[in-house]
Structure 1
Amino acid sequence: MRIRASVAVVSGALALSALAVPAAQADGGYGDTKITKVVVDGDNKVSIGTSAAKTFKVSVTATDNSGIKGADSFDLLGPDYGIESTGKPTCTAVNATTSTCTASVTIDPRVDYLTNKNAGTWYVSVWIDAEDGDFIWTEKAGSFSFQCAAKLTTNAAPEPVKKGKTLTVTGALTRANWESLKYGGYGSQAVKLQFRKKSSSSYTTLKTVTADSKGNLKTTTTAKEDGYFRFSFAGNSTTAAVSATGDYVDVN
């Protein structure tokens, strides 16, 4: 990851979901060129762990009455002086006036200089050229969350258990530390305890539990029928959402 303060220069990656870009966000331009959509892997969230590289596509759709000629590399800008650039975009015409320009970027936490403060809201900076010499440039074509990957465990006991008896459900919420390349406890976070009937394909929330300062979780519930218990974390701007694998409990 390149750092704007020239602390380090390495490769990196980011992603951004589809969103309309208001014309008021434009930082410069000439003529009628407009950016209408920015898409990166479709969900406006990118999570990075500690041990594997990820590659993401960044796509920008733009229009001009003369058609789109091309685009410069997209810059990805974030907290703690974070900056990364994609490769040269390839522009494909949608029709006579509109094209979608797409490029990729890769990040590897094992070799890129990520800091934990890089997690948070990032922006995509875009320059688009039209066939007639018009252009548009905006540093904030849209925002997205660059997140630390998270892990979550669940264990319900005792197993099996008699109907109406108390179950104790424990687990732990951890997230990637990009500086140590290890997962550490993510404390004081709200996590949902969920249950899925043996015959069902969907979970329902039973209660919300707050992790302790080390990310540990512990709560109780009443055993009513056979099924799966799990903890589920909704995520936030710096940490990805995650749900534990369901722990099956036989109720008799």
Structure 2
Amino acid sequence: MRRVEHIMGMPISLDLRDEGDGQAVFDWLAEADRRFSPFRADSEVCLGADNQDMREIRRLCEEYELRSGGAFRARLPGHAFDPSGIVKGWAVQRAADLLRAQGIRSFCLNAGGDLVAAGRLWSVGIRHPEDAHQVCAVLAVQDRAVATSGAYERGEHVLDGRTGEPARGLLSLTVVADDLTTADAVSTAAFAMGRDGIAWAHAQPGCLVLAVDEHRRVRWSPELEDLIVRDTASGTMPG
């Protein structure tokens, strides 16, 4: 079964290879959009709600602000609290956990290019940051999550929390991790850090990295080579 719905301002697809309809996934993601969108005046984010989920989201925001030296920041001076860099990965990972709780083991849940691939090997294309019709690499992943940050879909929406200015130095940065909460947060924080973010992301526990810098050089974690099915450029991680 393959199903696609438009939620959180993006297409979200679910490819199931086990029995089930995945309705709980889309119900939860629609609920997460209502509750945690910074663009809805009645959301829990905008109303400053205090509940278990909001406390977890705030904790994750604070954790990655600290770990990134302030490059990742959910509350910039002069701006309202915006946990978007955390919420999508966190919400999609919880949706994947719902599938597993139902006994569904083989699936790929893809939210605008950030995904959880489970139960079998899935081929995941990493989009070329300057040509939507090409890929930088194709990865074979199983029971892992993949997240990419870049400016090619939504423009310069990732800001460096240390300066308040749009992030510079990278065209895209992809992280492979065991869960999408981590992959999404690390990729966002690393992209905000610019070129320094490549080595920083590589140093995060359990994270593998593929990055394209502003000079169009491709760099990746050596361990990522075991997952690469096809690449269109060569490069290595800096020392």
Specify the TM-score bucket, using the shorter chain as the normaliser: under 0.3
The structure, 1 or 2, with the larger RCO (C-alpha pairs under 8 Å, 6+ apart) is 1
* Structure with the bigger percentage of helix: 2
Q: TM-score, normalised by structure 2?
A: 0.22
Q: TM-score, normalised by structure 1?
A: 0.22
